[in-house]
Structure 1
Amino acid sequence: MDTVLFDLDGTLTDPKIGITTCIQYALNQLDYDAPETDQLLWCIGPPLTVSFAKLLQTTDQIMIDRAITLYRERFATVGLFENVLYPQIPETLKLIRAAGYQTYIATSKPHVFAKRILEHFEITALFDGIYGSELDGTRSDKGELIRHILLAENLSPDTTVMVGDRSHDAIGAKKNQLLAIGVTYGYGTEEELRIHGVDLIANYPMEITKYL
């Protein structure tokens, strides 16, 4: 193995307050009763289109897009900074880099926001590239995103690992024949990760280095 792709939300950072508060803001603006924070934790990881479709109980793309616009209205100025790095993340990344691995961000979050978050935490230099979705939803599917990264960076699936905390990370990795490491300190359970095919489980960030 010579390359590691990292999910962002729930893997490197804990975005609980920012994401849930922005969802509540969007729903309130649409005159919907917003669930309590702890009832929205399942929304951390999946694309916003999927989450709002379930929350609004609709397939109306116009309504879903309106909700996403309202979400980003708050997220772009406040929400993306309501976020913290998980303990051991900088040290873990530095060890992986020192061992000679290439590292990339692979997040369903729009890459314009991902870049600002990494800059905020001053860890941009620990990555060879930052990849995410486009604002129009292009490459929000983790499988499509990983495929794009492999092609853009000329990476081999045989030597690339995907690290993430949700089923979407595992599914995306397996669609592209990647080894998958699931982390349990984020928002996915070990059961969710194993059901969707992760090869290894890390219970804390530094454990990732042991597997590599």
Structure 2
Amino acid sequence: MQPYQTILFDLDGTLTDSAPGILNSVRHACQKMALEVPEEAILRRFLGPPLPDSFREYLHLQEEDTVRAVAAFREYYPERGIFENEVYPGIPELLADLKRAGKRVVMATSKPEDFARRIMEHFSLESYFDAICGATMDETRTDKGEVIAYALQTAGVTQLQDVVMVGDREHDVKGAARNGLPCIGAVYGYGSADELTKAGAVALANTVADLHTLLCDS
């Protein structure tokens, strides 16, 4: 695999295991709106895609109720759910090695940017990033392709031949492709090897150690 000089990282399922906080926030939203809390397999589909899309697709909510569900989610998430979260072992070392090698490291997440920044500061990882870019709170920028385009612009990336995206869901792979970028699939996250391969990932990392090899040893 070619040596990449700029690496864009997804957050949830790629840098941190944020499932507990996200799922608890979805449960809170369902309870607040008197909706039946879906079974675990459905809940876990909320891990990765933009939040409004998940409420619409998996709970079959119309637009007005989707807005209410997102608002209810954000009652719980900023205070509690945001820190029901753990950094995957090996990620701090990977980020440190990338920076030591002179790589440009950028976050591109569908999570609201303010939340992403708070999480990185909480785990003392913010210093490894040249830019932390995410969705807007008003949902005007949530699509992964739009977030990646925004991240590239914010970081001043104009040459794409040595840029790669790293993410754990098909949305990351397809969003990268819409911006002319390859994507490495993080299988250790919330997607599957089959999902990421079908979406067009150029390589798969079953573990953080595999990702380290792909990014640092090529």
TM-score between both structures, scaled by the size of structure 2: 0.93
Displacement of 1:41? 1.0
1:169 maps to which residue? 172
Corresponding residue SS for 1:143: helix
> Does structure 1 residue 202 correspond to structure 2 residue 205?
yes
Q: Which sections of structure 1, spanning at least 5 residues, go unmatched?
A: none
* Paired position in structure 1 for 2:7: 4
CA distance in 2, matches of 1:36, 1:81: 23
Take 1:69 and 1:200, find their aligned partners in 2: how far apart are those partners?
37
Q: How many residues align?
A: 211
With structure 1 as the length reference, what TM-score do the two structures score? 0.96
Contact 2:170 2:191 in 1 (8 A): yes
1:40 corresponding residue in structure 2? 43
Q: CA deviation at 1:38?
A: 4.5
Counterpart check, 1:102 vs 2:104: yes
Helix, strand or coil: the match of 1:40?
A: helix
For 1:40-79, what aligned pairs fall within 5 Å after superposition? 40-58=43-61, 60-79=62-81
Match of 2:27 in 1: 24
Identity over the aligned pairs, expressed in percent? 42
| Structure 1 stretch displaced more, 122-131 or 38-47 | 38-47
CA deviations over 1:130-187 (Å, ceiling 9, x no partner): 0000001122111111112222322122111100000000001111111210011000
| In structure 1, distance between residues paired with 2:186 and 2:156 | 26
Unpaired segments ≥5 residues, structure 2: none
Greater than 3 Å deviation, 4+ residue runs: 36-39
Deviations 1:11-57 (A, max 9, x none): 00001110001001101111111024454111100001111112331
Q: Does 1:137 align with 2:139?
A: yes
Aligned alpha-carbon RMSD (Å)? 1.1
Aligned position for 1:117: 119
Letter in 2 for 1:142: K
Matched, 1:14 2:27: no
